[in-house]
Structure 1
Amino acid sequence: MLALGHSFEERAAQWVQAQGWQILQRNYRCKLGEIDIIAEDNQQLVFIEVRARSNRRFASAAGSVDRRKQQKLVRAAALYLRNAGSRQNFPCRFDVIAFDPRQSGQDAELQWIRSAFTA
């Protein structure tokens, strides 16, 4: 399952780069949590959570970013910003890139949720 998760993160990173954003860091880990992708979009920092589901019977991939997960992301982002140098005063947002299985076919569909939640 770890390899599958990595492949979705790779697809998300490719999508981010295709938008013209600069990826600053992937899999940022700290004592407060992990952020899958940190990117810069036109002098705005974007903290991106990547989620995937293989089965439609349970909550959607985006729906699995619950309040607890949001709080962990916000705390990890705050720690990242303390060491962000000249970017620490950039405006920030939290996006979710979710992959849910299609009704037919194997390939999961990418869904981008800009500003999925606020801090």
Structure 2
Amino acid sequence: MNAIKDATKRARNTPGALGRYGEDLAARWLTEVGMSVLERNWRCRAGEIDIVARDGDALVVCEVKTRRTSPFQHPMAAVPPRKAERLRALAEIWLHEHGGPPPGGARIDLVGVTLPRRGSPAVEHARGVA
């Protein structure tokens, strides 16, 4: 039984598991604020979109950044200009492959998830970041 607990704890501590957990929280958050999640982890040759969602008649490409609480970089500061460019390019590819932009257009949002050592995770949502 302890071996299972240890394996579960190690899985939560890996970067991939941390990112998946943050994306799960972000998808739940977006749904709770009235958005519809269309796809998660959509990939093409140019990269990956964490979440593609609908907000009314607008398409939302959502980048999720998850961090443990630390005095260093806040998750909302983790999208430098180069990453923003790539997200815009990925959004264009997704739109091209899925019939073009909806009537409400498209935007890029960022969801930052901060995991404290104790207590509940904090989720922040910034709309139209790139």
Q: TM-score, normalised by structure 2?
A: 0.80
The aligned counterpart of 2:76 is: 62
Count of residue pairs brought into register by the alignment: 114
How far apart, in 2, do the equivalents of 1:64 and 1:21 lie?
A: 23
Q: Which amino acid aligns with 1:23?
A: V
The aligned counterpart of 1:96 is: 110
Deviation >2 Å, runs of 4+: 104-108
How far apart, in 2, do the equivalents of 1:34 and 1:19 lie?
A: 24
How far apart, in 2, do the equivalents of 1:101 and 1:27 lie?
A: 21
Aligned match of 1:14 in 9, 20, 28? 28
Q: 1:36·1:50 contact (CA, 8 Å) conserved in 2?
A: yes
1:65-92 C-alpha deviation (Å, 9 max, x unpaired)? 111111111111111111112xx13201
Identity of aligned residues (%): 32
Considering only aligned residues, what root-mean-square deviation do their CA atoms show, in Å?
1.5
Aligned match of 2:46 in 13, 32, 36? 32
Q: TM-score, normalised by structure 1?
A: 0.87
The aligned counterpart of 1:107 is: 120
Which blocks of at least 5 consecutive residues in structure 1 are unaligned?
A: none
Decide which structure has the larger Cα Rg and report it.
2
Which blocks of at least 5 consecutive residues in structure 2 are unaligned?
A: 1-13
How far apart, in 2, do the equivalents of 1:26 and 1:49 lie?
A: 10
Q: What SS is found at the alignment partner of 1:89?
A: coil
Q: 2:53·2:60 contact (CA, 8 Å) conserved in 1?
A: yes
How far apart, in 1, do the equivalents of 2:108 and 2:54 lie?
A: 12
The aligned counterpart of 2:10 is: none
